[in-house]
Structure 1
Amino acid sequence: MMRRMAPEPTLRAALRVLYVASYTTRNWTLHEEVSRRQVNDLWEAIHEIPDLLCRWHDGAERELLMYLDEYNHKWPSPHLRGIYEQALEDSAI
């Protein structure tokens, strides 16, 4: 069985989320105010994204949004779902 990749707009939007999470985490290492719990929650939300993009299936976007929303229910920033949706919107232009 051949595995499907996510559609290009979804790939671009998810990569934007990963990019923001990466530089945000890097910047957090410079400040004592950010808890290790928040860093862990962020990476808990995004660590499945690369694998999910490579095994895209019906319901995969719902799964992706669930990961993003789980983080956003705990922390106000970065707003992962907003980043994803903005990147999708930008790719439609």
Structure 2
Amino acid sequence: MQICIYDTVHKTHKQLTFNKGHKEECSWSPCGNYVVYALSNGTTQQIASLNTKTGKQTLLTRAQEVCKYPAWSPLLQKHFIVNAQG
């Protein structure tokens, strides 16, 4: 599953990610330049951040952790992660 955005004015879409893995639970940064999301490849689930201007993905958590539900703090310009270890 990839991340895409839709322009409601021009009625066009743009795919932001092209790599393997499912991207879920997306959250936009307050500045609009980043998306943070849960990235799952079937055996691990990590949190990743995508710079929408450059397309660079950065893994924010280790593969040994099970992390879900990332969200941005609108005041601190930081993200929060719910970590559920089994």
TM-score interval for Structure 1 and Structure 2 normalised by the shorter chain: under 0.3
Whose relative contact order is higher, 1 or 2, with alpha carbons under 8 Å and at least 6 apart? Answer: 1
Structure that is richer in helix per residue: 1
